[in-house]
Structure 1
Amino acid sequence: MSAFPIDYAAVFQALPGAVLLLTPQLVIADVNEALLRRAGRDRSQLIGRPLFEVFPDNPDDPDASGMRNLRASLERVVATGASDTMALQRYDVEARGRPGVFEERYWSPVNAPVLDAEGRVRLIVHRVEEVTDIVRAGLGAHEGDRERLEAELYTRAQDLQEVNDRLRRSHAQEREVVLALQEAMLPAPGPVGHHRAAVRYRPAVGALNVCGDWYDLADLPGDRMAVAVGDVVGHGLAAACVMGQLRSALSAAIRVVGGPARALEVLGIYARSVDGAESTTAVQAVIDWTTHTIAYSSAGHPPPALLHPDGTVELLDGATDPPLGARPEHVDRPEAHAAFTDDAVLVLYTDGLIERRHEDIDVGLARLAEALTRHQGAGAETLADALLAELLPPGGATDDAALVIIRL
């Protein structure tokens, strides 16, 4: 919280740049004073009206493209939830008090989303800087070269648009590579001993938002199973590569050391040599069906959930420690144990399943517990599908989600 109360409505009106707030349906929700001055309009003429009804293209200019280009940019923002910087635009504006008379105007627009707690676009910030005087100065310097200069401006705008298109295609290709890499490193597991787990991985929406979430299961000597989930900070191919290294290291460590805490200590030491591994979170658990106990340790990760046969949910938060690399020196990690009875369910997951912007994590944990209790009798596969359907935002999450469910 700020030490001083801030009137953000007053700040919005005082911004020197011209700004419109639009709904996803492209209706004007608010406008600041700078925009009103540049557009020559009153608030009553704008608020609540469709954008392109107020600012149409010049009907006498067959080459007018400002409205088409702006609509395409705004629709990209709604579809992707990402900002879009437009190339220089000629977008003529109807003169104040002179209906049907359009003035030649040039603008440099940027469109940015305002997301809600579920990651959905609730508003679009449309900011424009008018560059009409600069363009006219260049045109006026050599009036005879007006057509050539206008053509050059148009060509540069088209070049910028092509660059934007190439970047979007490149981002889409990177997403495909990352997802293929994730799928190769996170295969659907077969039976571990005589036990079977349900696993799910859901990538975030958006070309660059695929992250470094992982899960791992391992059969241990005796009637025991090791299960882990982790989350690398960052996005894209780099995060996926770090994920692969850490997943492999933890999978090897849990097979040779004395338990979950020691495995995470080994992983922490290894992570110091891996660029991009800092602040990774992970939780490692070992299920022992002979003693009916779960040993676990967490490196800054959301707590596993243990659904008991009576429908109560126990959060395994008794051995929580900072993420990897958070301490400058080695400190032994804690380890805790929880008892279970037959037909209980153990759930491990990454924060993309429960966390929402501007929402306390306890709200997400409570939402998870309620869903588990409601589906208490479901099989592992059915429960996994139900949790994803109920807990992830309808339009897709802005963070990855990994999920492991084991009926004990």
Structure 2
Amino acid sequence: MKHFGIDYEAVFQAMPGAVALLSTDLVYADANEAFLRMSGRTRDQVIDRYLFDVFPDNPNDPAASGMRNLRASLLRVAATGERDAMALQRYDVERPDRPGEWEERYWSPVNAPVPGPDGRVALLLHRVEEVTELIRARGGQNGGDRARALEAELYTRARELQEVNERLRRSHAREREVALSLQAAMLPLPGPLGPRWGAVRYRPAVGSLNVCGDWYDLAELPGGRLAVAVGDVVGHGLAAAGVMGQLRSALSAAVRVADGPAAALDALGLYARSVEGAESTTALQAVIDRGSRTVTYSSAGHPPPVLFHADGTFEFLDRATDPPLGARVEHLPRVQAEVTYSAGATLVLYTDGLVERRGEDIDTGLERLVDCLGRHAAAAPDSLADALLAELIPPGGNTDDTALVVLRL
């Protein structure tokens, strides 16, 4: 949307809903006009001030828990990076023009994380809906009592939802553990390569629901050739892990009998049409011939491997890319390409979790990858693989799986 020349500061201020941005230590970084009007504060009374200096608890009413609940929600979002929609909250808000005089207000907040360049939570977005007048209108002459009864009912429902969510969380945690065990059992070790020639890594996504279907595979072929593949199934959890196992096994078998990587992916594409959940899977198959010092490859919509030459130059293997599996209505033969290398080159294959970040152009992630390779190219494959994960994956973890293969040619 850059070509529209959008002024996002103006958009933020013009939003009809009340929205504020806070730092992770709960200091106001910005607030739009709707938020200032709703709260009855000026910009100078809000910006760069601690949340609870602007809106303190009512010391005269220990039952006024809205501010305490809000603090717990914001800190939870900062710690987990997950959005939190709060139940309706009652707040006692001190009138700025009459210190010591408090108004009973009813707000419905939603708090969401705003990630920084490194993927960690940088800001907290706090959106508020004002429902005080609605509560009073429904309450009539006994508005206060009815409002408190409604608040108590909503609180009870919120607690029930929290209990349901906790049961779901435990169930998802068990599913994650099973999915990880399944993936670990199906993904091969480097085998005959040994640490001198190659290293493989699999890094699961953070979060109980985010175990995905990334895979890698290595296979020895006749004539001293080596087949290496990476792939990424759309979806999460056990279902994705199961599809991943089927596709990895099918491609591993196909490359042993097919006439090159493109033919192997052709066979996989036909097989994937019969596997539920395999649609839009990306995969890349390469065959390394150390005798002729060539890499032959074919890609089904997968991010391009990097061939880092011994002289410090590099190239992305992107000259044989077709759509992902199942993306075409009719089956068409896939293309493949061949590239040569000199002894000492390094080939890096990976899934998109290594380079993609939400809201960021993929080219930025590819530049980070090449920069890291340039600085660590002389390292052994094991050390290079560790460096790539350490520098390219956000410190707090990633929301997508990452599979990585590093080969010294």
TM-score normalised by the chain length of structure 1: 0.91
Alignment check: 8 A CA contact 1:226 1:284 kept: yes
Instruction: Determine the structure 2 residue equivalent to 1:109.
Output: 109
1:328 aligns with 2:329: yes
Q: Secondary structure at the match of 1:402?
A: strand
Distance 1:174 1:290 in 2: 45
Distance 1:333 1:365 in 2: 25
In the alignment, residue 72 of structure 1 is paired with which amino acid? A
Of Structure 1 and Structure 2, which has the larger fraction of its residues in helix? 2
Instruction: Determine the structure 2 residue equivalent to 1:342.
Output: 343
1:379 aligns with 2:371: no
Instruction: Determine the structure 2 residue equivalent to 1:76.
Output: 76
1:253 aligns with 2:254: yes
Alignment check: 8 A CA contact 2:219 2:227 kept: yes
In the alignment, residue 230 of structure 2 is paired with which amino acid? V
How far residue 168 of structure 1 moved from its aligned partner, in angstroms, is 4.0
Distance 2:77 2:222 in 1: 52
Distance 2:162 2:130 in 1: 19
Alignment check: 8 A CA contact 1:29 1:48 kept: yes
1:280 aligns with 2:284: no
Instruction: Determine the structure 1 residue equivalent to 2:9.
Output: 9
Distance 1:144 1:24 in 2: 34
In the alignment, residue 335 of structure 1 is paired with which amino acid? Q
Distance 2:373 2:179 in 1: 31
Q: Secondary structure at the match of 1:92?
A: strand
Compared CA separation, residues 96 and 164, structure 1 to 2 (3 A):
farther
Compared CA separation, residues 355 and 4, structure 1 to 2 (3 A):
closer
Alignment check: 8 A CA contact 1:354 1:364 kept: yes
Instruction: Determine the structure 1 residue equivalent to 2:47.
Output: 47
Instruction: Determine the structure 2 residue equivalent to 1:180.
Output: 181
Instruction: Determine the structure 2 residue equivalent to 1:403.
Output: 404
What is the percent sequence identity of the aligned residues? 71
Number of aligned residues: 408
Distance 2:352 2:119 in 1: 14
Distance 1:154 1:138 in 2: 18
Moved more, 361-370 or 30-39: 361-370
How far residue 102 of structure 1 moved from its aligned partner, in angstroms, is 1.8
Instruction: Determine the structure 2 residue equivalent to 1:219.
Output: 220
Compared CA separation, residues 187 and 73, structure 1 to 2 (3 A):
farther
Describe the superposition over 1:178-197 as per-residue Cα deviations: whole angstroms up to 9, x where unpaired. Answer: 32332222243322599853
Alignment check: 8 A CA contact 1:118 1:397 kept: no
How far residue 33 of structure 1 moved from its aligned partner, in angstroms, is 2.1
Instruction: Determine the structure 2 residue equivalent to 1:19.
Output: 19
Alignment check: 8 A CA contact 2:296 2:338 kept: yes
Describe the superposition over 1:113-165 as per-residue Cα deviations: whole angstroms up to 9, x where unpaired. Answer: 22234322222211111222333344446679646555334322322333444
Distance 2:236 2:175 in 1: 11
Alignment check: 8 A CA contact 1:313 1:372 kept: no
How far residue 74 of structure 1 moved from its aligned partner, in angstroms, is 1.4
Distance 1:210 1:59 in 2: 46
Instruction: Determine the structure 2 residue equivalent to 1:95.
Output: 95
Describe the superposition over 1:19-40 as per-residue Cα deviations: whole angstroms up to 9, x where unpaired. Answer: 1111222111111222222211
Q: Secondary structure at the match of 1:191?
A: helix
Moved more, 308-317 or 284-293: 308-317
1:207 aligns with 2:235: no
Describe the superposition over 1:367-390 as per-residue Cα deviations: whole angstroms up to 9, x where unpaired. Answer: 222322322222111111111112
Alignment check: 8 A CA contact 1:116 1:122 kept: yes
Distance 1:6 1:209 in 2: 33
Alignment check: 8 A CA contact 1:88 1:157 kept: no
Compared CA separation, residues 149 and 123, structure 1 to 2 (3 A):
closer
How far residue 50 of structure 1 moved from its aligned partner, in angstroms, is 1.1
Alignment check: 8 A CA contact 2:136 2:143 kept: no
Q: Secondary structure at the match of 1:48?
A: coil
Compared CA separation, residues 44 and 338, structure 1 to 2 (3 A):
same
Distance 1:391 1:355 in 2: 10
TM-score normalised by the chain length of structure 2: 0.91
Distance 2:113 2:151 in 1: 31
Alignment check: 8 A CA contact 1:117 1:357 kept: no
Please give the root-mean-square deviation of Cα atoms over the aligned residues, in Å: 2.5
Distance 1:307 1:8 in 2: 40
Instruction: Determine the structure 1 residue equivalent to 2:133.
Output: 133
In the alignment, residue 112 of structure 2 is paired with which amino acid? A
Distance 1:367 1:133 in 2: 52
Distance 2:45 2:121 in 1: 25
Q: Secondary structure at the match of 1:103?
A: strand
Distance 1:16 1:354 in 2: 36
Distance 2:249 2:241 in 1: 12
Compared CA separation, residues 158 and 135, structure 1 to 2 (3 A):
farther
Instruction: Determine the structure 2 residue equivalent to 1:292.
Output: 293
Compared CA separation, residues 170 and 56, structure 1 to 2 (3 A):
farther
Alignment check: 8 A CA contact 1:89 1:157 kept: no
Distance 1:382 1:94 in 2: 58
Alignment check: 8 A CA contact 1:19 1:31 kept: yes
Moved more, 366-375 or 17-26: 366-375
Alignment check: 8 A CA contact 1:118 1:357 kept: no
Equivalent positions of 1:235-254 (< 5 A) are 235-254=236-255
In the alignment, residue 115 of structure 1 is paired with which amino acid? P
Alignment check: 8 A CA contact 1:313 1:373 kept: no
Alignment check: 8 A CA contact 1:17 1:127 kept: yes
Instruction: Determine the structure 2 residue equivalent to 1:123.
Output: 123
